[in-house]
Amino acid sequence: MASVTEAEGLAELGLWQDAWEVLEDLPAHEGSAPAALRVKLACCLPLNAWETGRHIADLLREGDEADRRNAATFFHALAVRWLAEGDRYAAGEAVKAALSTWPKQRLKMLEDPEVSDLL
């Protein structure tokens, strides 16, 4: 039987696609729980699942501190991606989302030369 713990272990090993598949096999009520969403969000970056990640990050914005930190980290990465694609407006929106989700992300963004000028 698939479990979030199994998916976490696979993700920790860098087996992103395998972790994703385990999460997809979970019953809906387990797959939509915060613990599962956190693992799935971690998989989104290496799997380039940006739209899914954005949706999950939006869901986690109202969660506990770990949820908010993970969501803000994703929004930070999304800002970097959009800057690389030349979409400064979308990158700015991602920065705003990160900071409103978890204000402590500002410190990491100030240290990131790719997004620091958007602050």
Indicate the domain borders of the chain.
4-118
Q: What is the CA radius of gyration of the chain?
A: 14
CATH of range 4-118; options 1.20.120, 1.25.40, 1.10.1760, 3.40.50: 1.25.40
pTM of the shown model: 0.93
pLDDT, tens digit, 9 for 90 and up, residues 9-65: 999 999 999 999 999 999 999 999 999 999 999 999 999 999 999 999 999 999 999
Residue 2 has pLDDT above 90, yes or no: no
| Residue whose structure tokens are 């395998």 | 18
Reported for 21-27, long-range contacts at CB under 8 A and 24+ positions apart, including other chains, are: 26/2
Mean pLDDT along residues 1-15? 94
